[in-house]
Amino acid sequence: MSRTIQVGIIGFGLSGRYFHAPFLTVNPHFKITKVVERHRNEAEAFDPTIQTVRSHEALLADPAIDLIIVSSPNDTHFAYAKAALEAGKHVLIEKPFANTSAQARELLELARQKGLVAIPYQNRRYDADFLTIQQLLREDQLGDIVEYECRYDRFRPDVANSWKEQDTDGGGNLYNLGSHLVDQAVALFGLPESVSGDVRIIRKGGVLDDYFDVRLFYPDKRVILKSSMLTIDSSLRYIIHGTKGSFIKHGLDIQEETQRKNILPNTPDWGAEPESQYGMLTTPEGRFTFPSQPGNYHHFYDNLYRAIIGEKPQEVTPEQAIAVIRIIELANESSQAKKVLEFR
């Protein structure tokens, strides 16, 4: 049965303003009713029908709200999500889902007990490049994968004065960008046998990690996940080698860039990449440009709605949510111990 999910958002920064609000606004199954902002009124400027409240307690006290989106700094994710679940609300949590695997298990067990959805916001599963890679694998264009490398680089030589680069509780690049890369690998290949990590600070004045090289070991393949904040040419995204072919992809999905232009995601050809960003497929028959699938974050919210009403299971499963945090923990432990660790 169709219904409208009443939504409250904690925080209206980059994520709330440019990732969640536009998609919820054009989706008839959702209605943003209240947003927590401590001092500003950005949500009301985006949509005057949204009410601003100044605390998460005021948000959770509203019995009409069905879904809470936790879009606040990482050190608050667990506390806010737990409070929302205890108040009987479904929760969508910005990555990372939690700062420890123990916290992730606690949240998911609480959600299970209460019959609620608790899910991390893994929108990068619906990027153009990742959807294209899934197509290649479905069509067996690459054969059996033997090596998969994904990079998410940036060039930010100056350390920012923000919680992402200063707060030791959930900050750092591995928790930030690494959450996406690990989730994509788990979605494609399942749980690894073991994990290694090289997690470092490479910028002068850095407080938290700004470089990582994480390796996931499977019986038949190696998965390499890398990110650096000192990469001037940051266009390379994927290098995949299989028994039938190789695929190389440059360029970041265009949806975030489009949303920053205040374009709502209900325009024609949403998420369609320019041909200049198409990947290159190489097989024994030759080298070919392979058209990208359009990126589409709508799929995430459509699945979330169906999970809330009990029509479909959530695509980002509880087991995957825990595995992502556990792999990040093991990568950090491996980096400190300088050895490969069994996934457990």
Report how far residue 11's alpha carbon sits from residue 70's, in angstroms, rounded to the nearest whole number. Answer: 7
Q: In the predicted model, what is the mean pLDDT of residues 109-118? A: 98
Q: What is the largest CA-CA distance in the chain?
A: 62
* Residue 256 clears pLDDT 70, i.e. is over it: yes
What is the residue type of 91? V
CB 188 within 8 A of CB 137: yes
* Residue 167 clears pLDDT 90, i.e. is over it: no
Which residues, in sequence order, are bridge partners of residue 90? 67
Residue 191's φ and ψ, nearest 5 degrees, are -80, 140
Q: In the predicted model, what is the mean pLDDT of residues 168-185? A: 95
Taking CA atoms, 245 is separated from 102, 142, 275, 282, in Å, by 40, 4, 21, 5
Tell me the average pLDDT of the chain: 96
CB 150 within 8 A of CB 178: no
Q: Please tell me the pTM assigned to this model.
A: 0.96
pLDDT band at 1 (very low <50, low <70, confident <90, very high): low
Determine the length of the chain: 344
Report how far residue 216's alpha carbon sits from residue 16's, in angstroms, rounded to the nearest whole number. Answer: 31
Give the pLDDT confidence of 32-67 residue by residue, as tens digits: 999 999 999 999 999 999 999 999 999 999 999 999
